[in-house]
Amino acid sequence: MKLTLKVWRQAGPQDKGQFETHQLDDISDEMSFLEMLDVLNERLNQQGVEEIAFDHDCREGICGTCSLMINGQPHGPQRGTATCQLHMRKFNDGDTIVIEPWRAKAFPIIRDLVVNRSAFDRIIEAGGYITAPTGSPQDANEILVPKEAADAAMDAAACIGCGACVAACPNGAAQLFTSAKLGHLNLLPQGQPERLKRTEAMVDVMEQYFGSCTNYGECESACPKSISIDFIAQMNRDFASSKLRNRRLQGQR
């Protein structure tokens, strides 16, 4: 298939950046989107031109490294998949495809299509874990987990931290990411002791870097794991509980 690509090129964070147009006429519809970019980079390499920098790793939709705003949609037009799982058969012969990096204050562009998503790591550091002594594993059924809670926690834990929610949000908010990371711990018995403290700590860090939620639902539609905005509601409630009636502080000064 023949394609016209308009790709964002930006040499460094301070560079202004602009779209660069490339014509491709030997693309198989069985290629993945990233393989198509590989073909383009191969060609640029042969021409002695600097290759297009883009993030990728596992290429099977579980690592959350690939990004790309494709025709104005994070991870492209296919719902519930990451860019690496998008195939060229989703496009038509003769299409023009516009590729841009994700844009948010918290995701500074390093080069071309690569952004720094380490603000997510700051959120996880603030409380995205449980404090538990490690050692020999305990009996598998020692802590009972209701089936519904386990299922919901698993849905939240599907988050791969790719940042599509931030990219899609008109406010550059990270509510879906943070609430998914909170949800998968806060729904399980092991997450209960630190539930409120964790919620408050992670939300406070989130708000240092990201915008706020206006309940558009764009994040949910962009999420490659189709994580529900129901988790955002749960985060809001836990955060209010923590701020207004933190059990840790009751009866203390």
Partner 1 sequence: MSQTTSDRARAARHVEPIKPPKKGKNSVVGFYQTAIGKKYVMAISGIMLLGFVFFHMIGNLKIYLGEDDFNHYAEFLRELLVPIVPRTVVLWLMRGGLVIAFVAHIHSAYTLTVINKKARPVGYQSPRDYQVADYAARTMRYTGIIVGLYLIYHLMQLTWGVGGTEFERGDAYANVVHGLENVPIALVYIVANIALGIHIFHGAWSMFQSLGLNNPRFNSWRKYFAIAFSAIITIGNVSIPIAVMTGIAK
Residues that bind partner 1 (CB under 8 A): 6, 8, 11-15, 17, 19, 69, 71-73, 98, 100, 103-111, 116, 118-119, 122, 168, 170-173, 200, 203-205, 207-218, 220-222, 229-230, 232-240, 242-244, 246, 249
User: Are residues 59 and 33 in contact, defined by beta-carbon separation less than 8 angstroms?
Assistant: no
DSSP per-residue letters across 136-193: SPPPTTSS---HHHHHHHHHHHT-----HHHHH-TT---HHHHHHHHHHHHTSGGGST
Q: How far is the CB of 121 from partner 1 (least distance, A)?
A: 9
Cβ within 8 Å of residue 111, ≥6 positions away: 10, 11, 12, 53
Residue 153 has which token pair? 């926690």
Q: Which CB atom, from 160 or from 169, has the smaller least distance to partner 1?
A: 169
Q: Which CB atom, from 157 or from 233, has the smaller least distance to partner 1?
A: 233
Q: How far is the CB of 117 from partner 1 (least distance, A)?
A: 9
Smallest Cα–Cα separation from 176: which of 192, 165, 188?
A: 165
Q: Which CB atom, from 62 or from 108, has the smaller least distance to partner 1?
A: 108
Spatial separation of the C-alpha atoms in residues 143 and 231, rounded to whole Å:
23
Q: How far is the CB of 30 from partner 1 (least distance, A)?
A: 26
Cβ within 8 Å of residue 127, ≥6 positions away: 194, 197, 198, 199, 201, 202
Spatial separation of the C-alpha atoms in residues 207 and 130, rounded to whole Å:
22
User: Are residues 83 and 227 in contact, defined by beta-carbon separation less than 8 angstroms?
Assistant: no
Q: Which CB atom, from 190 or from 246, has the smaller least distance to partner 1?
A: 246
Q: Which CB atom, from 62 or from 221, has the smaller least distance to partner 1?
A: 221
Q: Which CB atom, from 77 or from 189, has the smaller least distance to partner 1?
A: 77
Q: How far is the CB of 217 from partner 1 (least distance, A)?
A: 5
Q: How far is the CB of 24 from partner 1 (least distance, A)?
A: 18
Spatial separation of the C-alpha atoms in residues 127 and 198, rounded to whole Å:
5
Q: How far is the CB of 100 from partner 1 (least distance, A)?
A: 5
